[in-house]
Structure 1
Amino acid sequence: MKYTTVITGSLLTLCLFPRATHAQNSRDSAAIRQAALDYIESQHKPDPGQMARGIHPRLVKRTFWKYAKQPREYLRESHADEMILLAASYNANNDKFPPNPRKEVVLLDVSSNTASVKLYADTWIDYMHLVKLNDEWKIVNVLWQFNDPQRHQ
């Protein structure tokens, strides 16, 4: 009877108080958010230095795309250097975003050195993976789509 009580108590303790994991702290959460904001705000301003600050040099950004006159779909990719160039020119005429652009960052999951984020922008969403290297959070993967999937052509 005592043995059963000890086991039951131990199991209950494990269920109620799981082992500590490497989860987010407030400093990591702020740094993850800042990396996502650097990514989107650098397109608002434009500011290629800010984009470079938020992304890893080996970043890959992907989306699905369609040929306009064919039913075929494919995966379209951009890389870090293209994103930095994009940040320098995308909104140069200040006509790509509304006066107060949407930039809502939702932390989906954070571990010791990896994180998943969803960024809501005005006309699209980005799912991002970040990595913490040398105490800095950088975006390494982006999967995005327009809110209107018909725009992917």
Structure 2
Amino acid sequence: MKKKIALLTVLFATAMYAQAQTSQDTERITQACMNYIEGFYEGDTLKIKASLRPTLTKFGYFKNKQSGKFEEDGYMTYKQAIDYAAGVYAKKRFPKADAPKVVKILDVSYNTAAAKITAWWGTDYLLLSRNGDNWIIDQVLWEGPLVK
């Protein structure tokens, strides 16, 4: 009987720790995703640097307005992401105030997570990893909006 009580106590404590960990992680994952969106929206290179791993791989598809077909838009590196954000700021090419900033966390493990974001440019699927107490985006696969 004592063994059962001890086992239940350990399981309960583990479940409580996991729940607390998930709550903190959810906030930090959401923050990494928002830094990513806002970094590109605001041209804020500090937010971009805070959200992306230097070995970033970003690849996507954009819909060709003439053909109506999605085409590969190529790869973006960490440096290119920073340069892109800097260009947004320099040229003052900010999106409209009501541009979407939607973050949906799809899965969280101890060291890895997956999220989906929706922004003016379309939908991005992000793979994140733990970076100390924070989370950082390692890979992005994106698709531009459905242009009518």
TM bin (shorter chain): 0.7 to 0.9
Matching residue's letter, 2:29: I
Q: Closer, same or farther in 2 for the Cα pair 1:149/1:142, shift >3 Å?
A: farther
Q: Closer, same or farther in 2 for the Cα pair 1:75/1:99, shift >3 Å?
A: closer
Structure 2 gap ranges (5+): 1-13
- How many residue pairs were aligned? 132
TM-score normalised to structure 2 length: 0.75
Q: Map 1:1-153; keep pairs closer than 5 Å.
A: 25-64=22-61, 74=72, 76-90=74-88, 92-148=90-146
Q: Is the 8 A contact 2:61 2:144 kept in 1?
A: no
Matching residue's letter, 1:25: T
Identity of aligned residues (%): 31
Q: Could you tell me how far apart the structure 2 residues matched to 1:130 and 1:63 are?
A: 17
Q: Is the 8 A contact 2:44 2:89 kept in 1?
A: no
Q: Aligned-pair distance for 1:45?
A: 1.3
Q: Closer, same or farther in 2 for the Cα pair 1:118/1:77, shift >3 Å?
A: same
Matching residue's letter, 1:54: S
Matching residue's letter, 2:41: H
Secondary structure, aligned partner of 1:90: helix
Q: Could you tell me how far apart the structure 1 residues matched to 2:34 and 2:58 are?
A: 16
1:11 is matched with: none
Q: Closer, same or farther in 2 for the Cα pair 1:93/1:31, shift >3 Å?
A: same
Q: Could you tell me how far apart the structure 2 residues matched to 1:81 and 1:123 are?
A: 19
What root-mean-square deviation, in Å, do the aligned CA atoms of Structure 1 and Structure 2 show?
Answer: 2.9
| Structure showing the higher helix proportion among its residues | 2
Structure 1 gap ranges (5+): 1-18
1:3 is matched with: none
1:8 is matched with: none
Q: Closer, same or farther in 2 for the Cα pair 1:147/1:74, shift >3 Å?
A: closer
TM-score normalised to structure 1 length: 0.73
